Amino acid sequence: MMRFLAVAQPWDLVGEELDAVLDRLHGDVGVAGLSLWAATPPVLALRVSPTQPRLVRSEGGLLFHADRTPYAATRCQPLEAAGSVAGDRIGRIIAACGQRDMPVRAVISASRLGRLPKRHPEMCCKNVFGAESHTALCLGNPDVAAFLVGLVSEVSARWPLGAVVVRDFYIRWAEAFSASLRTPPLGDLGRSLLSICFCESCRQRAGEANVDVESACRSVAARVLRGVEGSGESVEDAPSLAGFLRWRGEELSRLLARLVDVCGCELLLDRGGIYHLHRSLDGPLLTAPAAVVTKIDGGDALASAVAPTAHRNELRLPLTLTAGTDGPTLVSLCSRAVELGFDAVEIDDFASLPEQTMTPIKQAVRFARRAAGAR
């Protein structure tokens, strides 16, 4: 059966409005459950729903009071999002959802956790030229990896969850995808190369694994500086770089396996985000028994969103698609998703959706369920 879920921030569900919002989502629209943020990157959101404040700004971080015990083995300690923690709001939302048989999944960011990159610049990704990221921690750093393991362990043990969804699970100098770098000669492949992390931790650990990281570093620097778009070059033309990327993918896959082991419920890996890398540069190698959520920006990307090695596949539809489409298009997309084997769809940030988009979503829910029942 195809399930539809709404992605929400805890501050979208507050006070007396909580019951009314959940009744509307569950009873009227047909949303089966919530994907609720528990640890976020920086947020700037304009909400069209009748909830105050209309403009939400947060530096991000944990949206609950952390227990320090799971993080005893790491120097990377949790930081709560300033001004956003009000008692156990997440617990109250989960309890209200439980009364309606709406399972809740906790969503956490792996590498873009609010103020943590500012507190620990030594644990952030660095590009080939030594510039550190101001927003992205390096998951290849043992302290950061231990922090993430502790976070998944704590969140999954703290509340009765249906799953934990891990977003931003990558090692990237994220600034490479800034709009200011989208001009020639630094095209998509060049920006992808510039995003490769060569922080001290990656260099040291790759060297210990007998990876020729210095040669890989020189190869990336040369390609970025001279431009590679349209040149016919590929990552495979540089064996040292290919070896470094293979090692990095294996490291991420091992970390993913650790997260699956410590998670007290199902763990899902979100492959979405604004970063579309050259296929040879993307990771991790999905060898752990994890389910996958893939964000798409249109129906033409639907078939390629299937991860064949995943435990199961889900879709995440961004606001640009759900708010900007007509009913038949959304219905057709979701029905096609059922045929391809997807068993759930997340609708991103429902609090930012105009009211008129709820009708197409409700139609998509009904027709997708009908298609699932006919399989």
For residue 148, give the amino acid letter: L
Closest CA to 265 of 173, 191, 155, 119: 155
> What percentage of the chain's residues is helix, strand, coil (to nearest 5)?
45, 15, 40
pLDDT in tens, 296-305: 877 778 888 8
Residue 351's pLDDT is 77
Residue 85's pLDDT is 53
Predicted TM-score (pTM) of this structure: 0.91
Mapped onto helix, strand or coil, the DSSP state of residue 166 is: strand
For residue 360, give the amino acid letter: P
pLDDT in tens, 61-110: 999 999 999 999 999 999 988 765 555 789 999 999 999 999 999 999 99
Domain spans in the chain, listed from the N-terminal domain onward = 3-121+135-170+249-373
Question: In the CATH hierarchy, which fold is given to the domain comprising 3-121+135-170+249-373?
Answer: TIM Barrel (3.20.20)
pLDDT in tens, 268-292: 999 874 344 445 455 555 566 688 8
Residue 371's pLDDT is 64
Give the whole-angstrom CA distance, residue 132 versus residue 51. 37
Give the whole-angstrom CA distance, residue 232 versus residue 362. 47
Asked if 76 and 119 count as a contact pair (C-beta separation under 8 A), the reply is no
Q: Which residues pair with 46 in a beta bridge?
A: 55
pLDDT in tens, 39-73: 999 888 777 766 677 788 888 899 999 999 999 99
Alpha-carbon distance values, 35 to 141, 194, 336 (Å)? 28, 32, 23
Residue recorded with tokens 């770098």: 181
Give the whole-angstrom CA distance, residue 167 versus residue 152. 12
Give the whole-angstrom CA distance, residue 41 versus residue 90. 17
